[in-house]
Structure 1
């Protein structure tokens, strides 16, 4: 780890003025410090923003919920407002990492965490995310954890967050600030596919900070939502495939609208509105869910070869979408907060 300066920003203006010139912002540090210890990141200085008052969680007059960027993941998942009105989000957060990490990790940091690609974390091999143009050994290599959708010839890594999959389904907005002023970014536009610039994970500017995440009113989905995470072990493992599913059901038991987001399959949470529209007006039956899964995975391509291939993800993702929608149809399983600590 390199030597660096450490500064504490007492307010947002000081924090924003400190950006640039090799500086990195630190809140929980659960990903940043790992990158520094592995010599994958060597900032000249760290700007501690934990004193900036962006840690609140509150209901807004229009029924939206504002999640402060500096609120910890655990505090967010267990907050009564989130548990009661956004049970999908609570479940997704609690499916991620470990209790110790959730106690430290911030909401803003969760959105900005880097991929957990084996090759990205190995400084001894090339990686286009670390050094553009150096190559991607995951292509044709060990790719079990890698993308089947939205990949490019430069990168096949996946985004590791569980929280972000739920936020994509909830159509949240990311509110950011810079010295030029605030702006709101639709969640679908916040993370990027790799394309020709895999080193850029998000559309966040170098001079911007995440202030909050605003989740619009979603009461119509609260009774029929589910987060399903398939992984190689029960805890402290990243998703091979995850699904956030939400259904708005009418009094006759038919689907008015649906939202489905996939994790573990692309460089960002994956949605397809055309797939969701297939359920409008339909009975919530397996055949309809199968059609959604087929549309959602249209164009999916396996990566890697032999034992390192992720071809298994195609049928796994298809079955996971169907299972998550069936679980959502049968009713949300709410976190009480007592049996999850």
Structure 2
């Protein structure tokens, strides 16, 4: 029983914990003297640093992918500079592109070639048949440089001195550039003198002479020119139907005296054959009495001279739109807003200074 009571004293209400020591502690118990020493412990095991691990070099396929991508990019850029758009899109280039892509993909699946493969992939994305080919096409279109896509025969035709479909012998037989210029000056002088004597008009020169090389029809420029003469205009306006008829009658007389055909009036619906709706749109009305513009033309075919005489009359501009057009033209060229204007065009004319060279070059193009 004593043992049972003693046992119950240890466990009752303490969930199995021993009782606290009695006041003053247990008899004979002593506290340790001096500093408390920590128990010994094992030193940490040194592990090799990551930087001390030997690096493995990239394998061959990684290098091949990188160098192949760089080399292919250089080839594409060289072709771009040469203007060879067709070469960029050729079957050979497409095949090379597929080979480079295949090597790059293979390198990405190898641990040691993955880094170089990723770099090669970036290069291939920036420089490939699609991107460089597009730049090459835009460059050729903007500069007109298609040398890289032309055959030797095409390059030879491009230097043809005449015009495709135009008989070169006819060019040699017709008036030269210098003769057309002299004929234009003679016409202008005669018309100015005649109208000044009759109506007292004064004149001002408008625009400068212009020479533009004619295209030869084979992608190049011929040795022939399109000639635009200086223009002449009356300072005074010309108004009234009867006055306009009188002015044009004198002009018609002069041009026929110089070997040209009689004037052909585009603005006259009875003679031009142009639809009245179009005449109204161009000249303000289908009735010459109320038109703001009269436009007449003649030529000396088979020679190349074409002569134009226009009368602008703002008194027939009811909407004000034609005035705005004339003011814009005046701002560009300084020509009078209204009155009579004269000018000459000469198509496919050859300068006398170029005649010998023209004939020499024609010998290189039999059958053209």
TM over 0.5: no
Decide which structure has the larger Cα Rg and report it: 2
Larger relative CO (CA 8 A, sep 6+): 1 or 2?
1
Report the structure, 1 or 2, having the larger strand content.
1
- Where on the TM-score scale, by shorter chain, does this alignment land: which range? under 0.3
